Amino acid sequence: MEDTHEQDAAAACPACGGASAPDGEKDGYAVFRCGACDLLFVHPFPTAEELARYYSDNYRGATATFYPKLNSRRRRAFVKSLRFLRYAVGRRVLDIGCGGGVMVDAFRRLGADAHGVDISVNSITFARNRFPRCTFHCMDFDEMARSGLTFDFMFTSELMEHIPGPHGCMAMIQALSKPGTLVYVATPDAGHPAVPADIYAWDQMCPPEHLQWFTRDNLARVFDGYGFDLARAFPKKSPALSLLFRRRG
């Protein structure tokens, strides 16, 4: 019979599988640190039901005719999309975790065959109604991985920190890519020098909204395991990762 105390004192890293141990606690959630890759993560992860209840209680969600802060989101999305102009023009592009579709529409305006995927029925219904010239998929990672589609460029921002482990998302990215596919990822950077010395005072340490906290090295290690090389790291003054990966041939 396994010792319960020993089970509580160690956990396999959800990124690399390495041995992890308790590092601290935030808002009632235990946070573990991987001794091999330095990933910080909540352990155990909340259940799907717990996460659904949290978001239902804390966020005003989309409807078929409403999306929060739509106009300001659209403006910011278009400005942001200009950075990726060379990857979008004439290419098939996917926004992973697209919400109400504002970034998808920004890519379409740049000349992309623009797609978005999200599990939120309300968000996708809104996006389809508001941006009918784009293509939206209401699917989870596994369903989208089986879609048979491939993309030239994939974009995901403010998603990786929210999901319980990276591998479902990464398996989808691998399935939807081909040699040369580019993937842009934005997520908080737990290894940035601007992170407080007491990392638990960092505003990005906010479980259960955020469940895992990457560094440049361990996120590159995850992508490497799925056949991607780090192509470019965009410098950030704030503690945020802004990374571009390329699928190996």
Give the per-residue pLDDT at 61: 80
Average pLDDT of the chain to the nearest whole number: 94
Place of tokens 């209401």: 138
CB 242 within 8 A of CB 228: no
**Is the Cβ–Cβ distance between 224 and 164 less than 8 Å?**
no
The string of pLDDT tens digits covering residues 157-200 is: 999 999 999 999 999 999 999 999 999 999 999 999 999 999 99
Identify the pLDDT of residue 78.
97
Asked if the model's pLDDT at residue 6 lies above 80, the reply is no
Measured distance CA(29)–CA(40) in Å, rounded: 12
Q: What is the pLDDT of residue 58?
A: 78
Judged against a pLDDT cut of 50, whether residue 2 lies above it is answered with: no
Residue 8 banded pLDDT, cuts 50, 70, 90? low
pLDDT digits (tens, 9 = 90+) for 118-131: 999 999 999 999 99
pLDDT digits (tens, 9 = 90+) for 20-61: 999 999 999 999 999 999 999 999 999 999 998 898 787 778
**Mean pLDDT, residues 3-16:** 70
Alpha-carbon distance 211 to 205, whole Å?
Answer: 8
**pLDDT digit string, tens, across residues 210-236:** 999 999 999 999 999 999 999 999 999
- Over residues 78-103, mean pLDDT: 97
Instruction: Tell whether the model's pLDDT for residue 12 goes beyond 70.
Output: yes
Distant-in-sequence, close-in-space partners of 44: CB < 8 Å, separation ≥ 6: 11
- The reported pLDDT for the residue numbered 62 is 85
CA atoms of 122 and 64, how far apart (whole Å): 6
pLDDT of residue 55: 86
User: Model-level pTM greater than 0.85?
Assistant: yes
- Options 2.60.40.1120, 3.40.220.10, 3.40.50.150, 3.10.20.580; CATH for 47-247 is 3.40.50.150
Instruction: Indicate the domain borders of the chain.
Output: 47-247
